[in-house]
Amino acid sequence: MPGYRDFVPRQGFQPTLALSPDGAAVAFSGNAGGRFDLWTVPVAGGGPRRLTRLAGRAVRRIAWAPDGKSLVFTADRDGDEQYRLYRVGLDADEPVDISLGPECQRVLGPAPFDAEGRYLLYAANDRDETVQDLLVRDLGEGTERRIEPPPGVVFQPSGFSPDGRWLLAGGFRSHTHVAAYLVDLSAAGAEPVCVTADHGDGLFDPGPWAADSTGFYLRTDLWGEFVAAAFYRLDTGTLEPVAQHDWDVERIDVAGETLVWTVNEDGRSTLHARHGDDVLPLPAIPPGVVQALALAPGARPVVVLLDTAARPADIAVLDAENRFRYLTDSRPPALSVVEPVEPEPVVYPSSAGRDVHALLYRPHSPGPHPAVLSIHGGPEAQERPGYLRSGLYQHLVAQGIAVFAPNIAGSSGYGERHQKLIYRNWGGIDLDDLDHAVCHMRSDPGIDGDRIAVMGGSYGGFATLSCLARLPYRWAAGVSLYGPANLVTLARACPPTWRHFVATVLGDPDTDAEYLAQRSPITYADTITAPLFVLQGARDPRVPRAESDRLVARLRERGVDVRYEIFEDEGHGFTDRENELRAHEEIAGFLCGHLLG
């Protein structure tokens, strides 16, 4: 039987792609060399080329300069989320740090250059750590223009209009409250104007501009429970529906009159295209998740970063001949000898007449099987059919362990009402959905109800600790990856620009401290008895290491079997490939030991 490392993809990717202006090459962030560096690969086919070797840093977002001769990207050190800006030429030996000012959070938008490549748009909290301003850098003169947001708004840069007059940005208050802002660059000192205010306070997430600068595309929930694609027309201020489905529109890109978008249909991505009023046929893509989308100026090729349950994330192209083909191959050796498992869609009942969607990875061997209840992060995220945790799911299933992954209250993809149930209710309705998940698992004849473990990262780690501490089951084991045990501390330690968002979604650490403590796993630590594996980044800017230290000490004082692994050079998640693989290998051994032993 192959070991865990046999299931590990040859490389992982950050969810970012950039097509060269001529459509001949795609830039990406991959960790085949051990860290997330900047690479390019020809669209026509051929081997990838590595452009950076950043010791200790991870490339996060990428943009190609309009002349095609250089790229700009952001990178942070050891997961500290303090991003610096770099520029690298295709023939340069080393990238150049073009950041101005101190360490801070710098955010690069999807289309940060103007048409001539003179100006670069990004956001940063260098002036005030609690405020994310827009900055327009004149790359020729080295000067910057700063645009400050209204109180309580976090600016997310989008891009310049093709004619250079307008600057577009999103004004973020929460995941379901985003407005579109315009700045008239032709007027000296012009203030940002919220152009979607007349349409309400919901989601108006700005996307790409129309080629003629008459308006821009955006994602909105204006017309119903699910997110649609729309067009905002500058001359009238009206919103026109472009694509409406019974699921969420996720990604939008445009080239000339050709529009390409993806739809999240119960977790699986479907790809759609239109030229003017005509629907364009696209080749079928394998069932999975489009993590990034890039469209060439001539509308072909379309490049996607596609992750599926049976094949790890890889870059693929839909070319001018309307063929789908992969540009990279990250498949591990185990997939040549083991048949990967496709997840079964499951719907189970919860309280108040609600249904919860889930994915069940069931081993090919006869049951009943022990199982892992796997809880996604976020909480406003979604469990989707991908090659998850660097092959850990498929390895566990090959060992005879089922994986049950629900989209509990707070998950995205199932409408705004379901997503907002988690707001200021962590450890409440979500824990009730997890209780019903266990009941459903125990009623499945293919699952051994006496051998169930629980696992999750970030918010999923919090939910894991809540399950172990507050649900009345005899858990076989638990795994918490950088999961917060104390919601008060989590709210206080959040990135400064997130404070309004955290108060909206989680609670205010000053005015809601008693309530947050009542929902915190640390409050119930003395009820945890199951073997527990805690993994923590020493440099985590969101979940302080001291909180995990405190939880582990409390449990060990009572003689609970706790394994504690600290990664000195990691933050909230993994940027070093060997750290990530070692962590998942140890998790696999821990779960197999307690579920199969």
Let me know whether 357 and 479 are in one domain: yes
Let me know whether 239 and 345 are in one domain: no
Nearest 5°: phi and psi at 89?
Answer: -85, 160
253 assigned to some structural domain? no
Answer for the pair 171, 178: CB distance below 8 angstroms, yes or no: yes
Q: How far apart are CA 364 and CA 397, in angstroms?
A: 8
Let me know whether 118 and 230 are in one domain: yes
Last residue within a domain, chosen from 202, 221, 244: 244
Answer for the pair 206, 158: CB distance below 8 angstroms, yes or no: yes
77 assigned to some structural domain? no
15 assigned to some structural domain? no
**Closest to 374 in 3D by CA, of 277, 463, 312, 300:** 463
What the block records as the tokens of 164 is 């250079």
Q: How far apart are CA 58 and CA 390, in angstroms?
A: 17
Let me know whether 235 and 117 are in one domain: yes
293 assigned to some structural domain? no
Q: Do strands 96-97 and 13-19 pair parallel, antiparallel, or not at all (unpaired)?
A: unpaired
Query: What type of residue sits at position 424?
Result: R
Let me know whether 229 and 348 are in one domain: no
Let me know whether 222 and 368 are in one domain: no
What the block records as the tokens of 552 is 């582990």
Which range marks the domain in which residue 138 is found?
101-244
**Closest to 41 in 3D by CA, of 9, 17, 7:** 17
> Tens of pLDDT along the chain (597 residues)?
788 999 999 999 999 999 999 999 999 999 998 889 999 999 988 999 999 998 888 899 999 999 999 999 999 887 778 889 999 999 877 899 988 888 888 999 888 999 999 999 999 998 988 889 999 999 888 889 999 999 989 999 999 999 999 999 999 888 888 999 999 998 888 899 999 999 988 999 999 999 999 999 999 999 988 999 999 999 999 999 999 999 999 999 998 888 999 999 999 999 999 888 888 888 888 999 999 999 887 667 889 999 999 999 999 998 767 789 999 999 999 999 999 999 999 999 999 899 999 999 999 999 899 999 999 998 989 999 999 998 999 999 999 999 999 999 999 999 889 999 999 999 999 999 999 999 999 999 999 999 999 999 999 999 999 999 999 999 999 999 999 999 998 888 877 877 787 888 888 888 988 999 999 999 999 999 999 999 999 988 888 899 999 999 999 999 999 999 999 988 888 888 889 999 999 999 999 999 998
Last residue within a domain, chosen from 224, 244, 264: 244
Let me know whether 106 and 218 are in one domain: yes
Q: How far apart are CA 357 and CA 375, in angstroms?
A: 13
Strands annotated E in 210-366: 215-220, 228-233, 238-243, 248-255, 258-265, 268-275, 278-279, 289-295, 302-307, 314-318, 324-326, 344-349, 355-361
Going from the C-alpha of 579 to that of each of 29, 390, 478, the distances in angstroms are: 18, 12, 20
CATH number (domain holding residue 512): 3.40.50.1820
Let me know whether 360 and 486 are in one domain: yes
Let me know whether 354 and 218 are in one domain: no
The CA R_g of the chain, rounded to the nearest whole Å, is 24
Q: How far apart are CA 282 and CA 275, in angstroms?
A: 12
Q: How many domains does the chain have?
A: 2
Q: How far apart are CA 462 and CA 456, in angstroms?
A: 8
CATH number (domain holding residue 110): 2.120.10.30
Answer for the pair 161, 111: CB distance below 8 angstroms, yes or no: no
Q: How far apart are CA 53 and CA 507, in angstroms?
A: 41
Last residue within a domain, chosen from 244, 277, 304: 244
Nearest 5°: phi and psi at 102?
Answer: -80, 175
5 assigned to some structural domain? no
The whole model's pTM is what? 0.89
Q: Helix or strand or coil: residue 562? A: strand
74 assigned to some structural domain? no
Q: Output the pLDDT for position 299.
A: 60
Let me know whether 345 and 233 are in one domain: no
Q: How far apart are CA 15 and CA 167, in angstroms?
A: 24
537 assigned to some structural domain? yes
Nearest 5°: phi and psi at 590?
Answer: -65, -50
Q: How far apart are CA 468 and CA 586, in angstroms?
A: 20
496 assigned to some structural domain? yes
- Order of strands across the sheet with 106-113? 144-147, 131-138, 119-128, 106-113, 154-160, 166-174, 177-184, 193-194
Q: How far apart are CA 514 and CA 516, in angstroms?
A: 6
Answer for the pair 327, 23: CB distance below 8 angstroms, yes or no: no
Tracing tokens 């994310």 back to the chain, one arrives at 132
Let me know whether 353 and 239 are in one domain: no
Let me know whether 350 and 233 are in one domain: no
Strands annotated E in 288-411: 289-295, 302-307, 314-318, 324-326, 344-349, 355-361, 369-375, 402-407
What the block records as the tokens of 555 is 């449990």
